[in-house]
Amino acid sequence: MKFICEKNILQEAIITAQKAVTGKSTMPVLQGILMSVQNNELTLIGSDIDLSIETKINVEVLEEGKVVLDARLLSEIIRKLPNSKVEIQTIENNCVEITCNKSKLTLVYLNPNDFPSLPEIDENSIFKINQKTLKTMIKGTIFAIAQDETRPILTGVLFEIKDSKLNLVAIDGYRLALRSQYIDNETSINAVIPGKTLNEVIKILEDDGDVNITFTSNHILFNLGNTKIISRLLEGEFIKYNSIIPEEYNLNIVARKEELLDCIERASLMAKDGNNNLIKLDIEDDVMIITSNSQLGNVREEINIILQGQPLKIAFNSKYLIDVLKIMNQEEIVMNFSSSISPCIIKNKENDDSTYLILPVRLATI
C-alpha cells in the first residue's frame, strides 16, 4: 500500500471514521481504523460493531493495499504534522512509514483481515432528508432518552415514518420529546436508533446537503455521499407514544420563551440542593408566579402570560422544563395543562413540529 494525500483532507477523514472507535470493544483490531487504498480512493472505516462509519477521500494511489492503524495514535500523528503532503506506505516488519517534509514515522499495523466487514445493506429503499433538518430533529429529542438501562429500548430515539411524516420520539418515563417533519415518502417505518449512534450522527451531519437513509430489519444506514454511518437498531417494542399525549386540556398559556427560561433558571438556583429541582408555577390571570425555596433562601419570579382557562397551581422538576425551553427555537410557546397532576404539553405557538410532554411533581399541598 502506498498513497499521497494532503494532510488536512486526511485529518478530516480520520476524525470522521474515528467517531465510531469507542475503544470499548474487546477486539484489539477495533481500536484501529481500516485504511484501504483502491482505484483513486482511500476508504477509512472505524467500527465498534454496533456502529460503523465509512468515509472515502481521493488520494494519489501508488500501490493498492490495506492496513489497520491505531485510531488514537494515527489521529494524533496526522494532526501534529505540518500542512503539507503526507505519504503513507507499508514497509517491512508489519509497519507503515508516514513521511511529511522532514518527518518520518513508522507505525506498527494490525492485520486488515481481522477487521469485521460492514453489514451488507441494499440501498434501494431510501428516503431523503435535509441534513440540517435531521440534525435539528435529533437534537430536539435526544436529550429526553433514558439514561439508565432499565428499559434498553428507551435509550434510543424512535424513527417513525407514517402518513408521509417522519416522527422522532424519545421518552424517559418522566417526559416525552417529539419532533415531526413532512417527507416525500409513502413507506411505513418503525425503528429505534441507539442514542450513542445519534450522538455521533449529529457531529457528522452538515448544515447543507441531503442525507439518504435506508432501514433494514436490524440496521439503519445514513448515506451522506462520501460518508456512510451504519448502526444496529435497538430490539424491542417502543412505547405507543400517541396514547400518552392527551388530546384535550383545561387551560393553555402563551409565554415568551427566553423570558420564561431565564425565570425558571433563576428559580432553579434555589431548588438544587436535596430538593429535586422543585419549582412551583402559580398560573393566574395575566401572570405566572414561579417560586422555589430551600434552606438557603427562596426565589419569586413573575412573568406576563396570556391565559385561556382557569388559574392553576402546579409543580415541576425545573431541569425538565429547562431542557425543553433551551432546545425550542421560536419566540413564543404554548403550554397546555389539565390539572396539577396531569402532564403539561409544550409546543411552539407558530408551528406544530415540536411536542414536549412533562409530568408534574405531585405535592401534598401547593
Minimum Å gap between C-beta 350 and its own copies is 25
In three-state secondary structure terms, 216 is coil
User: Considering the rule CB under 8 A, would residue 77 count as an interface residue with its own copies?
Assistant: yes
CB closer to its own copies, 267 vs 335: 267
Q: Contact between 353 and its own copies (CB under 8 A)?
A: no
Closest approach, Cβ 106 to its own copies, in A, equals 5
The answer to whether residue 80 forms part of the interface with its own copies (CB under 8 A) is: yes
* Residue closer to its own copies (CB basis): 10 or 178: 10
Size of the site for its own copies (CB under 8 A): 30
29 binds its own copies (CB under 8 A): no
- From residue 84, how far is each of 10, 101, 222, 305 by CA, in Å? 11, 7, 32, 59
Q: Interface residues for its own copies in 243-262 (CB under 8 A)?
A: 262
**Binders of its own copies among 84-103, rule CB under 8 A?**
95, 102-103
Interacting residues of 343 by C-beta distance below 8 A, sequence separation 6+? 244, 246, 357, 358, 359, 360
Residue 366 DSSP one-character state: -
284 near its own copies, rule: CB under 8 A? no
Reduced 3-state DSSP string for 95-119: EEEEEECCEEEEEECECHHHCCCCC
Chain length of the chain: 366
Among 104, 128, 203, 362, binds its own copies (CB under 8 A): 104
* 153 forms part of the interface with its own copies (CB under 8 A): no
Q: Is 270 in the site for its own copies (CB under 8 A)?
A: yes
3-state class (DSSP) for residue 137: helix
For residue 88, give Cα distances in angstroms to 64, 79, 93, 210, 359: 11, 15, 15, 33, 57
Residue 127 C-beta-side C-alpha neighbours within 13 Å:
21
202 scored as a contact of its own copies (CB under 8 A): no
- Of the pair 197, 268, the CB lying nearest its own copies is at 268
Positive/negative CA dihedral, 245, 202, 324, 171: positive
Task: Assess 266 for contact with its own copies (CB under 8 A).
Answer: yes
> CA-to-CA distance for 144 and 195, rounded, in angstroms?
10
**CA–CA gap between residue 131 and residue 224 (Å, rounded):** 8
- CB-nearer residue toward its own copies: 38 or 84: 84
Is residue 162 involved in binding its own copies (CB under 8 A)?
A: no
Separation between Cα atoms, residue 280 and residue 249, nearest integer Å? 20
Considering the rule CB under 8 A, would residue 285 count as an interface residue with its own copies? no
Give the shortest CB-243-to-its own copies separation in angstroms.
Answer: 38
Q: In this chain, which of 81, 137, 230, 345 binds its own copies, going by CB under 8 A?
A: 81
In the complex with its own copies, the residue whose CB is nearer, 79 or 165, is 79
Q: Does 306 bind its own copies (CB under 8 A)?
A: no
Q: By CB under 8 A, which span of 72-80, 189-197, 246-254, 307-315 interacts with its own copies?
A: 72-80
Q: Which is nearer to its own copies, 78 or 176 (CB)?
A: 78
The three cell numbers locating residue 105: 514515522
* Residue in 259, 284, 254 with CA at minimum distance from that of residue 347: 254
Q: What is residue 133's three-state secondary structure?
A: helix
Q: Pick one of 62, 269, 341, 363: the residue that binds its own copies (CB under 8 A).
A: 269
- What does the binding site for its own copies look like in residue numbers (CB under 8 A)? 70, 73, 76-77, 80-82, 95, 102-108, 262-263, 265-266, 269-270, 295-303
